[in-house]
Structure 1
């Protein structure tokens, strides 16, 4: 099993001296290729900090971070930006789509930022939209899409650069349970079929069965790991 992301004894502290707040306290875990991991925990537990460090938006105060075999702990701001563009896909609570771009152009914007907008990128955008059931919406603007469709566009956009790691922050927060579940199923399927890795921070317990593992964080510490043992089959539900 190839490890895609490893946190090795990672801590993050804000402030100094008596005012120091430990947002993450010696956190270690790894995510393998093809693995979809959920992180749960109360507000203020350190989930956002963990996701920000995994997304190379923040550097840890101590510890090491390995992404796709590369030590990315102490990069310059410029190097961090490049890693985010090349290796990481983000899906947020709200779809964060650009209101004045069509669905297809949302995806091509990613290629443009990475200076890779070409015929190949256009073909890739069309394939992703077809794959996620959005081909008939490709020339629509976000205001004409349902919440579920917007999140699917956000997922398609996250895959545009073939990232090694997908980070999803409360992706079901603005959706009803049925659409929320569809969105998470889609994420899980993509991670498995592409042999990538994903971490989802969520409050939504109804989608945890779709994850390979659930990590719980409290007061900046990872406390318990629930979920499947490596190699075992997820529980089958009666409606399959």
Structure 2
């Protein structure tokens, strides 16, 4: 039996921002753990702290309090150069917009990531071939982004996120510009890669149609993170509470 290893641990995470003579609490004492192969969705209203949380996990911001432990290392204590190296080697990003380079073919979009990370040329090409096959893009490898559909562009973005063999994937509204069918295909592809490659993934989304693909659904509200079933109890009190 293969034991799942813990990839991400958040310990009492808080983020404060000064606002004149007062302090705004954006994240309030958040704790979370994720194991390899786990796909978690975070939902919540705009301004609830979702993007700030993703930025801290993604080594783009540092917390005011608490720890972010990624692959056994406390990255919340890292210096800027260490955070940059962590983003390059251990974190894959998928955004609402694919942000593909218009003058590079799909093949070259993916190979570029390996070159940046000094991956052996043969290993880099093998990884690219493997990903385009899994993502159903073999017939598109020599195409430029302008000739791809929205769903195909997002699949390229998924491949790019996995090219550096990251420990965790962070997806920020990856289906916002897609219809239901294409959006579900994209989320299912993320889930497939996470499971087969034993990574972890967090998807911030407003698209409740995609939540069934995820292992857990967490709700962000007023800077706090709560499990889906806890949110349901809060929104639907029992007869004794009414």
State the TM-score, normalized to the length of structure 1.
0.91
Q: Distance in 2 between matches of 1:17 and 1:67?
A: 34
* Structure 2, unpaired ranges of 5+: 231-242
1:198 aligns with 2:201: yes
What is residue 234 of structure 2 aligned with on the other side?
none
2:186 corresponds to 1:183: yes
The structure whose Rg is larger is: 2
Aligned equivalent of 1:102: 105
Per-residue CA distance 1:96-150 (angstroms, 9 max, x = gap):
1111111011111111221225121012111111111101100111010000000
**What secondary structure, in the 3-state scheme, does the structure 2 residue paired with 1:166 have?**
strand
Cα distance in 2, alignment partners of residues 188 and 216 from structure 1? 19
Alignment of 1:113-192 (within 5 A): 113-116=116-119, 118-192=121-195
Deviation at 1:225, TM superposition (A): 3.2
Indicate if the aligned counterparts of 1:3 and 1:68 stay in contact, CA closer than 8 A.
Answer: yes
Provide the aligned C-alpha RMSD in A: 1.4
TM-score by length of 2: 0.91
SS at match of 2:92: strand
Query: What corresponds to 1:12 in structure 2?
Result: 15
In structure 1, the partner of 2:88 is: 85
Specify the alignment match of 2:235 in structure 1: none
Instruction: State the match for 1:33 in structure 2.
Output: 36
Equivalent pairs counted in the alignment come to 227
